[in-house]
Structure 1
């Protein structure tokens, strides 16, 4: 157990740095066991206080100011590894020499080795593991970096900015120099060195500058970089066209590494990526992998301006860069394919990850008030909800004003570390709209619940809509205040036709979707000249990240068929199916046999009849609500009952609709070359959705045939995922074949682990333990740990919540084993144990016991301590 609770950092305690660093000169002599780092920091006083530099795990060999050696009496090494220099002058040059051991860095934060190569990860606080520095985002400096290493071991040596010379040495080493002309915080520093090869292209900016583009990978992976390069080029062009933002260096490098805690990192001019978000070819990557690469490549590139050129003042402002950049990558992806389907998928992700976080022990505002370990706030709330808040502003002021606001924000804040207030102020000034009501979204945790009531007054031909908002209490915030909620809406007549609408006080009716602003706890909106009771269509395009309540099942059925807004059409079908499943779960809990609603069969047949127009949308509409989503709607979750109901519905739909499902499946058989355009992806998604229902109804042979004949990983993995729940040779043969085919490919083998981790078979808990001991399982690799432990705990509610507590024990055992190796990943994996409050008393007690066991571990990392202790609070 911790001897004492780790220190908490509070947003209210922010103070400007005592010293700024104008320029940084770094000289690396790379060695896996003993790398030497010489740093020359040109400092100047910025405010009161001593010169304190962050450090962690550094062996200090020398320290000088303006060439004079600093005596030990002036150097204070703190218990946290920091260095304090006594009696520092108001300006000067501080020079330090430190030794670090990259090969022992299993935390993968700072400088570390992977596969014999050197990589860095400095966000959020990894730079302090490289050299002594005021490691905070509001210290922005210009960097010159010289790297020296053995030529044979490290033929390639990269850092931020532009190359500025290279040469050889008589001892077999060589050197390169990189200069970044733009000031940046230390978290954006990057270094990559080793035996790598590049795939290269060039890009000509709108002003005519030529930029060299390089993707650096291990030898043998060159043929898997084409989609990443194409995504990068499209991202660069899109940012110029949509936001007028042009790339600002002569070279843009991406380096891919398999040992990486995050998805990717936007370091200035040298992005470091998890291989998962770079490498793809049809034989090894699914459509989802291709789409993930496009999204992450775009996201990290867009950070060049929203994150790098304009950065955050402190880590509490993290969503300033992440929420805004997620919004930008969502808009980019929407422009590449179906905007409606992209919105649906983003909302699915928000509800699967962020809504439960808002309702749990780790609930926090988009801009948190405090943290123990900043890595714990790289969360769905900061990223996904943060993007939704940016979208709220975009919806309120419109695209043209939002673009003017972005122009003003960049011009005003370029090369500065700023706050969320700076962003909102730019949007307000550019639009002339008061946006103060949106600040509550940044500072208040929890998901608002929106309820609706309406009445029709026939004599006055008037229809009145009343909206109410409320936010449940969250840890540390029992009392909530109303926030500004844009409600995009329309009205339909009894035949499903769109009605023009006129609010009281308006002179003319307006066609199509209109925007209502709910800014109080309760507001009523009166519509005039309404000939008959209308059907309201609310939250079109999911105009606000709220939970809408009070819509009857009859209206949901009507909207699912008739609404002109594709999101509301999908959402209404989802909510109708969810309400039905909850009723069936309740019946099952009472010991009654749940019935089958014929409306589901009708919905499936209607969806498939019009599927050719937009197969991707049809695939989304065909999917039943996930088990986790349904359980989240229950006051006390019952994972086993939810699973049984969902599987029963899948089986019954497959049986009743087998004719049209099989006809659609056969009609969508792919011929010719694999393509990753939106329509081709949609057709495969719809075909595999049909396959899932057919297999649920007993047609296992269809999945066996698809697995054997598949010409791409999307279809092969879809079939294998279904066979993983089967019995005998139908399961064991394909699983063994898949492992034999792809044992040498880490990314594909991750899929093999995940499929088995999420199986609903009764023997899955025992199989998980066996897989954990498998020779190909490596707890030190974050991707592999997530593929088994994370997939089981987050993707298999049936067995994770087993009555005997074995799922909880497995997760706690894994977290305890992983924490001393990589505390950051351990902290991210422990989260599902925090769901105990929504479980039945017996399961809740078992979950609490495992959390207490984690907390009892000596020298627990700060991140895991914070997650586990807050989960129990």
Structure 2
């Protein structure tokens, strides 16, 4: 058996592979306890490399034998050490045949080939293929694959791999085989096989060109009634990519397979996408509106990878955002187009920016801060981060903002024209955008190379006599250990002007850096390209001092520093034609007072909420012209994480108390309005997850959650009645969440009864039981003792990533009050689970380790406890995945 040793990999040390693969012929003799893999690979010396050594990677493999050009190699003719198999002075053209044995039933890491519920699955991104056979397992080695699967037919009747099925048949002793060929070159991380007892929904779909293709969604028996939405999402994705980018499905068959044990959300293996069940299975009984939307988004994301990731892939793992950031942007645009309601695109934009601020901004400010294109890593699995994905998507979006939709499409077309079938870099993508539009985007490269969230300060000066307005924009970015000084970014800054009544004003300027026509933006929006540390523009013909609508549609992933009064923010919330900025103004207004309340809690001062905020919320709630989904987002308070991000020293208990006070105040002050909203919204039956109905449900259920903030038994009964009568999981979960999180004795008793019923009703539905665990894990009333009781529940297991995420991650990442308990019990629970998970599944353990990445900003007593816990974990023998995270946190 072999294993890897820990080392740091640097982007600057990239060297081309010494040998390139031409063809790969794989044969799997599938057996749960001992699978035999025969890999026949034709390797050709790479003229860009001076080395004549063949370097192959392997992990947890038993090497049976090696043939080189038909001759068996003796042990002294190759070197095998620390997971590297090296053959020196290999011929220009080398045909290797390598036989290995692997043990799928012992593979709890869920990387490489493993078993889930008796079925075989693979996960090869990033470096899982080396757990299957010795191979030049790197993304810039691309080849055509032929795969033959052999297995017991009764036990494994379905045999799937990438590409097209070219042959199948019977074998002696009740066995059978299937042979698959993928006509396209691909790196090993896109390889996949699936074998087991599965059933599928399939349809023939006609592409825009008239060619017919077979679409299949494979699931375990009993789940076929939950596949319709995934199939519809796939068809919508195919059509959207044809219409928006002119990209057509290039295979005769496209398959989605759902598996319950999976580390990620899904994987874009060429033609054989493997999905976590949570992003495939849905019907009204088990899935919420959010689940339906997520399924459509993730199905779209993985399908879009067929071109942005598969046909054009990344040269090395430092370029991961080349495929992930670009494809997240594409799935965001797809989802926004699919919503179709009045404020649909704004609603999607708000959801995406909220994710960025709640998760990526803290990452940028913590121990795991790294550029969109990292410079080094110890374990690549640790860099599947919100910076790579979500911030990467914002970087791609800025291209479209700067170049317009047509210009962006021109850049995409040139990118595919130049690089189809190649493994390339982020710089290659930038060059395609620049060359297609004849633009100098050299400075834009800083978005790839510099870590941290830029801060943009806006200062204004109005000259009433001259009727002119000066806007001074300045940028900065906090230093990081690797980059003490940051170069200025190219920041597209969109803005508009409103008069005292909330009407848009015309933007006039002779400054060449100001662009007045901006696609996908309301009239009156202008764009400035901020390229220097500070620059000033002057607007003329401004008849009165305006209210500035700054950073419209979040035109760049920056933190805006601009002081506006409560009255100005309230005006923007009520009247800004940019729907995103209406929401953002409300968030800024609420966050300002949440911080003041937090300060008051810390200093034991009286807690008060100004009427300005209450009335601003009242006006949003009363405005029937607004999209209900937008109203729900606008009336949802900033999260505890976002409050923490604005504090120099984080005090979790004070944050929780301050936010709870604001919720209770808004609940009491607007009780009549909340009740009216709840009682008057009518949603037609039967249940449909379509956006209009989903938006109405989100507003109605938000009203219910506010009503539960009091201790009125009659109002509490509304939630119980909704729970009992719900014909869909959205309303059932909303009622149960409202009761569970209300935090008073009346709701607690009601919640206990509903929780018992919920478990009995859905005990056989794994994804719903995940919700049951998560609901209790995030309740502010439940601490570490309750978590340990739940961890002892027969339905709980750390071996399943979804179940681990529902309870342990739910508590440690989303229960601020209890995780940061002053007695340290939350941290102890966290440490116990990290150490146990690290022995089972290091990837999941490493992700859980991130819960304390900002511990050094906690108040002193918590900081001390957190550091003690971190040192305790670090003192143990850790995997490469977890060790990198823990050591980086301790180094801050």
Deviation of residue 71 (structure 1)? 1.1
Q: How does 1:89-100 map to 2 (within 5 A)?
A: 89-100=91-102
Deviation of residue 509 (structure 1)? 8.1
CA 1:206/1:530 → structure 2, altered by over 3 Å: closer, same or farther?
same
Q: How does 1:219-258 map to 2 (within 5 A)?
A: 219-258=221-260
> 8 Å contact 1:808–1:833 — kept in the other structure?
no
Counterpart of 1:831? 850
Asked if 1:757 is matched to 2:777, the reply is yes
Q: How does 1:351-500 map to 2 (within 5 A)?
A: 351-500=357-506
Cα distance in 2 for partners of 1:393, 1:791 equals 35
> 8 Å contact 1:139–1:185 — kept in the other structure?
yes
Counterpart of 1:549? 561
Deviation of residue 809 (structure 1)? 0.8
Cα distance in 1 for partners of 2:384, 2:867 equals 24
Q: Which deviations, in whole Å up to 9, do the C-alpha atoms of 1:19-40 show, x marking residues without a partner?
A: 1110000011100011010010
Asked if 1:72 is matched to 2:90, the reply is no
Counterpart of 2:761? 741
Q: How does 1:42-441 map to 2 (within 5 A)?
A: 42-46=42-46, 47-49=49-51, 50-79=53-82, 81-337=83-339, 338-441=344-447
> 8 Å contact 1:778–1:784 — kept in the other structure?
yes
Counterpart of 2:520? none
Moved more, 400-409 or 594-603: 594-603
Counterpart of 2:22? 22
CA 1:615/1:146 → structure 2, altered by over 3 Å: closer, same or farther?
same
- Partner SS for 2:179: strand
Asked if 1:784 is matched to 2:803, the reply is yes
CA 1:456/1:613 → structure 2, altered by over 3 Å: closer, same or farther?
closer
Cα distance in 1 for partners of 2:841, 2:655 equals 35
- Partner SS for 2:182: strand
Counterpart of 2:639? 626
> 8 Å contact 2:217–2:255 — kept in the other structure?
yes
CA 1:509/1:424 → structure 2, altered by over 3 Å: closer, same or farther?
closer
- Aligned counterpart in structure 1 of residue 732 of structure 2, from 716, 720, 730: 716
Moved more, 494-503 or 384-393: 494-503
Counterpart of 2:882? 864
Name stretches of at least 5 consecutive residues in structure 2 with no aligned partner.
Answer: 518-522
Cα distance in 2 for partners of 1:535, 1:564 equals 13
Asked if 1:767 is matched to 2:786, the reply is yes
Deviation of residue 481 (structure 1)? 1.4
- Partner SS for 1:398: helix
Q: How does 1:834-845 map to 2 (within 5 A)?
A: 834-845=853-864
Counterpart of 2:817? 798
Equivalent pairs, count: 868
CA 1:374/1:505 → structure 2, altered by over 3 Å: closer, same or farther?
closer
Cα distance in 2 for partners of 1:391, 1:298 equals 17
- Aligned counterpart in structure 2 of residue 614 of structure 1, from 627, 650, 659: 627
Aligned-CA RMSD value: 1.4
Deviation of residue 765 (structure 1)? 2.2
Counterpart of 1:665? 678
> 8 Å contact 1:454–1:463 — kept in the other structure?
yes
> 8 Å contact 1:827–1:867 — kept in the other structure?
yes
> 8 Å contact 1:461–1:529 — kept in the other structure?
yes
Cα distance in 2 for partners of 1:505, 1:305 equals 40
Deviation of residue 48 (structure 1)? 2.4
Deviation of residue 788 (structure 1)? 0.7
Deviation of residue 505 (structure 1)? 5.0
Cα distance in 2 for partners of 1:508, 1:770 equals 60
Q: Which deviations, in whole Å up to 9, do the C-alpha atoms of 1:529-556 show, x marking residues without a partner?
A: 1111111111111000111112222322
Cα distance in 1 for partners of 2:62, 2:194 equals 22
Moved more, 84-93 or 359-368: 84-93
Question: What TM-score results when the alignment is normalised by the length of structure 1?
Answer: 0.98
Counterpart of 2:510? 504
> 8 Å contact 1:75–1:85 — kept in the other structure?
yes
Deviation of residue 5 (structure 1)? 8.4
Counterpart of 2:526? 514
- Partner SS for 1:181: coil
Moved more, 337-346 or 510-519: 510-519
Cα distance in 1 for partners of 2:857, 2:727 equals 43
- Partner SS for 2:647: coil
Counterpart of 1:525? 537
- Partner SS for 1:166: strand
Deviation of residue 4 (structure 1)? 12
> 8 Å contact 2:495–2:527 — kept in the other structure?
yes
Cα distance in 2 for partners of 1:601, 1:842 equals 35
Cα distance in 1 for partners of 2:830, 2:128 equals 27
- Partner SS for 1:602: helix
Deviation of residue 396 (structure 1)? 0.3
- Partner SS for 1:279: coil
- Partner SS for 2:264: coil
